Amino acid sequence: MRKIDLRSDTFTLPTPEMMEAIASAELGDDVAREDPTVIRLEEMAARRFGREAGLLVPSGTAGNLVSVMTHCRHGDELYCEAEAHVYFYEVGGLSAVAGVLPRLIKGTRGVYSAEQLESTYRGRELHFPNPSLVCIENTHNRAGGTCWTPRQVEEVAASAHDRGMRVHIDGARIFNACVALDVEPRDYARHVDSITFCLSKGLSCPVGSVIVGDREFIERARKNRKIIGGGMRQAGIIAAPGIVALERMVGRLKDDHDNARLLAKGLAAQGLSIDMATVQTNIVVADTSPAKAADYIARAKRNGILCSSFGRNLVRFVTHHGITEADIREALDRLGT
């Protein structure tokens, strides 16, 4: 039986055009800043976000970690949403490597307000860690791929800046937010100090993420990238498909969003509980109660449908470049049997 893989957009494979770009990429040693393809990707990303500079990193996790290390000193405090990826899924790198203490804000569908930030903020006081960074996750993975609007980012960022903190966006899927809300990356980037976005999720590249920010920040981030072992030599083979992705793969994300909505409606009709307001991009989180997520996933797998656990009774489905509308209809048929 043909498998329909809805576990994650990280399972996407590079397009034939990306493979060609890899084969023909002009290469050099990027640690010595001599890889022209990496330089081209970083400049392209910076332009797209309206910022001065970009830095290629191996993964979204590396992008967040390097950004946190660059914004914060050991012992500082970082504010983020209670189920933010940087806190929930990055192996505690925040504390283990960056030496930062997270302070959590419970958002609504992944988004928190400036007022919430202000009421959680403890101030600068002898007994407290130094508050130095606010993180925003857009789109928010565990909330179901939900989007922050540029206005929401602007308000939280203004409040953070008023308190002397910097602002980082974990924009692993920020292009999904841009397509869903019909806004430009720069509409977010102008309010914040750094953004990480992933090439390797919905944009279908095999590897890589990019941090963008001002030149001085990116130069310091470059050193931290080296500390964590993320300085890569002929990294043009990673950057080349990234260039293809930025040129060709952003607009099509709308198809993934349409497919996610189709899937969500079908799953709801089969009795799963879904907060449809969260189905804004390419992620669907469904409550399988009273069935356990593990049992639902095992049954789906027996029918050739792959999805992943998001908690005891929560299952996540992600649409992506490898999934067509026909796949969604077939997945619904098989899941409904």
Ligand X SMILES: Cc1ncc(COP(=O)(O)O)c(C=O)c1O
Binding residues for ligand X (CB under 6 A):
10, 59-61, 64, 85, 137, 141, 170, 172, 198, 200, 209
With respect to ligand X, which residue has the nearer C-beta, 69 or 172? Answer: 172
Tell me if 48 sits within 8 A of 185, measured CB to CB: yes
Q: Which is nearer to ligand X, 42 or 121 (CB)?
A: 42
Rounded to an integer, what distance in angstroms lies between the CA atom of residue 297 and that of residue 309? 7
CB of 308 to ligand X, least distance (A): 11
Q: Are strands 305-306 and 4-5 parallel, antiparallel or unpaired?
A: parallel
Minimal distance, residue 146 CB to ligand X, in Å: 11
User: What is the token pair recorded at 3?
Assistant: 């498998």
Any idea what DSSP says for residue 11?
Answer: G
Q: Would you tell me how many other CB atoms lie within 10 Å of the CB of residue 211?
A: 31
Question: Are 308 and 300 contacting, i.e. CB atoms less than 8 angstroms apart?
Answer: no
Q: Which is nearer to ligand X, 121 or 175 (CB)?
A: 175
Question: Shortest Cβ distance from residue 280 to ligand X (Å)?
Answer: 14
Provide the minimum distance between the beta carbon of 119 and ligand X in the complex, in angstroms, as a whole number: 25
* For ligand X, the closer CB: 170 or 193: 170
C-beta closer to ligand X: residue 176 or 332: 176
Strand-pair category, 194-198 with 166-171: parallel
Q: Tell me which residue of 253, 271, 265, 270 sits closest to 319, measured CA to CA.
A: 253
- Least Å from the CB of residue 150 to ligand X: 18
Minimum CB separation of residue 269 from ligand X in Å reads 28
Residue nearest ligand X (C-beta atom): 60
Indicate the residue among 113 and 308 with the shorter CB distance to ligand X: 308
Which of 88/299 has CB closer to ligand X? Answer: 88
**CB 177, CB 148: distance < 8 Å:** yes
3-state SS, residue 195: strand
With residues binned 3-state (H G I as helix, E B as strand, rest as coil), the percentages for the chain, rounded to 5, are: 45, 20, 40
Among 299, 257, 298, smallest CA distance to 280 is for 257
Residue type, 78: L
Q: Going by C-beta distance under 8 Å and a sequence separation of 6 or more, which residues neighbour residue 108?
A: none
Least Å from the CB of residue 223 to ligand X: 20
